[in-house]
Amino acid sequence: MERREFLKGAAGIGGLALALPLVQNALAGLAGPAPGRVAFVKTTDRAAGVNHAIDLLGLPRFQGKDLFLKANFNSADPPPGSTHEDTLAAFIRKLKQMGAGPLTLGERSGMGNTRQVLESRNAFTLTKELGVKAVVFDELPAEDWDLIRHGNMHWQQGFALPSTMRKASGVVQTCCLKTHRFGGHFTLSLKNSVGLAAKFVPGNSYNFMRELHSSPDQRRMIAEINAAYRPELIVLDGVEAFTTGGPEAGKKVTASVILAGTDRIAVDAVGVAILRHFGTTPEVSRGTIFEQEQIARAVQLGIGVKSPSEIELVTDDRDSAEYAKVIRAILDGAAAQ
C-alpha cells in the first residue's frame, strides 16, 4: 500500500499522539491513472461473476502481498443490505489464486454491533474456513488508530483509520449496489469506505460518525475518507440492488451485474448509471453523474477519473455487451445534460 506524505510533528487526541498524513494531493507522485476500466458482467451467479469480472481486468498477480479486505457489513440485513456470502467467498478464493499472502477482513458496522453483525452474516465462520483473519474495528485499542486531518477537509477534527489497514501491502474491497436514505444518496465503493473510519477512538469522547451524519457536507466528507488510501481492486455486487431506501432495506430489483475495477470514481459512476436505469431516487437522478457530490469531491481530490469519457466498460459476451451499451448511454447522456 502506498504510504502518504506526513506533516511534520503530530497532534494529540484523547491522550494519543497520532500521525497526520497530508490528504490534499493524496495521489501526488503516482503515475497518472489509465482510463478507468470497469469489467461489466451480466449474471445472477455471484461466484462466477466475481471470477469473470476480475479476469476481464487482466490485473497483475498479488504475489506475496498481505491484503486488507473491506466488505459491506454495515448491518446484519440480507443482501444487498450486506455482502452476500457467495460474493465474499469467491472474492477471497480469487485473491488467493492470484497469489495474495495473508488476508485480513476488517469492519465497523454502522447499524448494529459489529461482532454480532459479522456473526449473523456468517463472516467469522467463512473467514476461518478460508484462512482469513477477521478484525472488529470497535475492539481496537487507541494505538491502532491513525488520525488523518488536513485544513482543506470538511471534517472538523479529521477522521481515524485503522493502522492495520494502512500498514497492509494493499487494500481491496467489495461493495453493494444501493441507495442511501440517510444523506449519502448512494452507497457504492466510495461510501463503503466509511466502514473503515472510527466512530470513537478509545480515550476520546468525540463521535466522528455523529459529525458525518449531521453535516450538510456529508457526501464530500465521504469522498475525503477515500483520499487516504488507494484500493488495488474493487468488486461491486449488483446482482440485486436497492433503488430506493437503503442502506439496509428498500425497493429491491434484480440488476444482474457484477462490476470490477481499480478506480472508485469509475465504479461508482457506472453504479449510479445502473441505479438510474432502473429508476431511483430524485437525489440520485438529479444532474449529471459527475455532479453527484461524492463523485465531484472525489474528482477534486484526484482519486480517479474525471469524466465519463475516461471510463471503459469491458465485456466479452453478447448479453453483457448489450447491457453495458445501455448503461454506457446513460453515462454519456448524463454527461451531456
Show me where the domains of the chain are located: 37-335
Would you place residue 24 in the very low, low, confident or very high pLDDT band (cuts 50, 70, 90)? very low
**3 pLDDT more than 70:** no
Span 253-277, mean pLDDT?
98
Span 141-155, mean pLDDT?
94
**63 pLDDT more than 80:** yes
End-to-end C-alpha distance for the chain, whole angstroms: 38
**33 pLDDT more than 80:** no
Q: Cell match 487507541: residue?
A: 142
For residue 60, give the DSSP letter: P
For the stretch 230-257, pLDDT in tens is 999 999 999 999 999 999 999 999 999 9
**18 pLDDT more than 90:** no
d(CA 42, CA 37): 16
**2 pLDDT more than 60:** no
d(CA 325, CA 60): 27
| Helices H / strands E in the chain, number of each | 12, 14
d(CA 146, CA 164): 10
Query: Which element (helix H / strand E) includes 119?
Result: helix 114-120
Cβ neighbours, 10 Å, residue 206: 16
**336 pLDDT more than 50:** no
CA 241 vs CA 61, 101, 178, 179, 184: distances in Å: 30, 32, 5, 8, 16
Q: On the CB side of 62, how many CA atoms lie within 13 Å of its CA?
A: 26
**29 pLDDT more than 70:** no
Q: Cell match 459479522: residue?
A: 118
pLDDT value of position 34 = 59
Query: Which element (helix H / strand E) includes 189?
Result: helix 189-192
Would you place residue 333 in the very low, low, confident or very high pLDDT band (cuts 50, 70, 90)? confident
Query: What percent of the chain has a predicted confidence (pLDDT) above 90?
Result: 87
pLDDT value of position 35 = 56
Type of residue found at 327: I
pLDDT value of position 337 = 40
Span 49-69, mean pLDDT?
96
Span 87-110, mean pLDDT?
97
d(CA 256, CA 41): 8
76 phi, psi to nearest 5 deg: -90, 10
Query: What percent of the chain has a predicted confidence (pLDDT) above 70?
Result: 88
Q: Which of 15, 18, 16 is nearest to 7 (CA)?
A: 18
**32 pLDDT more than 80:** no
130 phi, psi to nearest 5 deg: -100, 5
Span 212-233, mean pLDDT?
97
Span 95-118, mean pLDDT?
97
pLDDT value of position 39 = 98
Span 214-224, mean pLDDT?
98
d(CA 64, CA 7): 30
Would you place residue 14 in the very low, low, confident or very high pLDDT band (cuts 50, 70, 90)? very low
d(CA 224, CA 222): 5
Would you place residue 151 in the very low, low, confident or very high pLDDT band (cuts 50, 70, 90)? confident
pLDDT value of position 150 = 82
Query: What does the mean pLDDT of the chain come to?
Result: 90
Minimum mean pLDDT range among 36-40, 57-61, 148-152, 267-271? 148-152
Is residue 27 within 8 Å of residue 303, measured between CB atoms? Answer: yes
d(CA 23, CA 225): 9
pLDDT value of position 28 = 35
- Residues in Cβ contact with 261 at an 8 Å cutoff, skipping those fewer than 6 apart: 36, 37, 38, 39, 57, 233, 234, 267
Name the CATH topology of 37-335: Rossmann fold (3.40.50)
pLDDT value of position 96 = 97
